[in-house]
Structure 1
Amino acid sequence: MTPLRPYRGVAAPQRMAERRRRFLEAGLELLGATSDELTVRAICRQSGIATRHFYEAFADKDEFVAAVFDSVIDEIARTTQAAVAAVPFEQQNTAGITNLVQTIGDDTRVGRLLFDARLSNPVLVRRRAELGGVFAALAGRHLQTALHRDDNPRIRAVAHFVVGGVSQTLSGWLAGAIDLTRDELIEQLAAVLDEFGNERLY
């Protein structure tokens, strides 16, 4: 197998990583700002990269859409974990929801990709459902810590309720159905989330 040589002083792995980054950015732009009807030609035109390189990076469009979604989630997870870790436990709900609301408020493409029900690409629908389960598990662990209790069906029920409720609220806010400023939304959601630490619910 012939080794890949540097081109214009840039090693092959760096070129491939840069192309992948540009492809993912193009995918976020197309999915988050226009339509979920994608073509490889449109992706390559948006990224400014030749079609042959698309198939070097992704097996097909489904793998590409999943990679776009995952890259957005990875970044949100990274920044949210950092925000939560930086504050005392009793402030973590506010820190986490603040980071999420600010992220989707600053980049409407991200909000649409994650929460817009009109975006019906089947890969995104499946990824969102899978993500809901992951977030419910994380919310459950947070509740266990807050309540000093082991996992149980009531905690799991509330955790799923929290995730579904937050998702629906953010979707409504992004669609203009909830007339709150960003700060008001953060305050409202944080207050509601704090109530789920009340022992009487369990």
Structure 2
Amino acid sequence: MAEVGRPDSADRAQRPYRGVQAGERLARRRQQLIDAGMDLLGQTDPDDLTVRAICTKAGLTARYFYEAFADKDAFIEAVFDAATAKLATTTQAAVTGVPAADQNRAGITSIVRTIAEDPRIGRLLFSTELSNAVILRMRAQRAELFVNLGDLHIQTALRVGGSNRLKATTNFVLGGLRQTISAWLSGEVVMSSEEFIDLLIAIVDDLNDPSLFRE
């Protein structure tokens, strides 16, 4: 029991330190760990990654790791979500306000340039070399989200209604896009970023015919 008038460790943890509130300190440490995870998961098989290695990279102790994450799986999920959020944010910004006819180019250009500038994101989201169960599960979950977003985009851009043909096409395009990006990142497909962008756009632009999606 803490002495009367003397704060225990929990009380001290909640107090401002050098003007920084406890919640902000927690958020900063969590971000340090996620940044470390982006580096490590971009180079190391997640199954071989240890909490000690994560903490060493982040410059923090294990205490702070478990303050932010229940376990390593929760940590990998958070890093994956951070990578997804960055790609989604940059892509959304690229297509916002762009005429419908130019949205494919804007979106694909943003995706390719983002992962070219930060290969860690490309590895986490697209590389077929990763077989970690958490990452595969997260990819499957996010794939469903992106298929739904793709459906809405096509319906809006081409003024068509939802259909099984549309759903099938969106799954086909996004699945092929993931596989092709993985091949490009691994060096199996050798092209400059601009050549790769032009090829992907040429393929996707062939799907701009509204009649393809009417049943």
- Aligned residue in 1 for 2:23: 13
| Aligned residue identity for 2:118 | D
The AA in structure 1 aligned to 2:44 is: T
> Structure 1: which 5+ runs fail to align?
none
Q: Aligned pair 1:24/2:34, yes or no?
A: yes
What's the counterpart of residue 4 of structure 2? none
Q: Normalised by the size of structure 1, how large is the TM-score?
A: 0.95
3-state SS of paired residue (1:151): coil
Q: Which runs of 5+ in 2 are unaligned?
A: 1-9
1:143 partnered with 2:164:
no
Q: How many residues align?
A: 202
- Quote the Cα distance in structure 2 between the aligned partners of 1:184 and 1:55: 44
Q: How does 1:157-168 map to 2 (within 5 A)?
A: 157-168=168-179
Given residue 163 of structure 1, which amino acid in structure 2 is its aligned partner?
A: L
1:100 and 1:167 mapped to 2: Cα distance? 11
- TM-score normalized by the length of structure 2: 0.90
Within 5 A, what are the aligned runs for 1:35-74?
35-36=45-46, 37-74=48-85
- 2: CA distance between counterparts of 1:75 and 1:179? 25
- The answer to whether the aligner puts 1:2 opposite 2:11 as a matched pair is yes
User: What is the CA–CA distance in structure 2 between the aligned matches of 1:95 and 1:29, rounded to whole Å?
Assistant: 27
SS in 2 for 1:33: coil
RMSD: 1.4
Q: Secondary structure of the residue that 2:35 maps to in structure 1?
A: helix
The 2-side partners of 1:150 and 1:100 are apart by: 26
2 CA distance for matches of 1:184 and 1:156? 28
2:207 & 2:93 partners in 1: Cα distance?
22
- 1:153-179 Cα deviation digits (max 9, x unpaired): 000000000100110110010011112
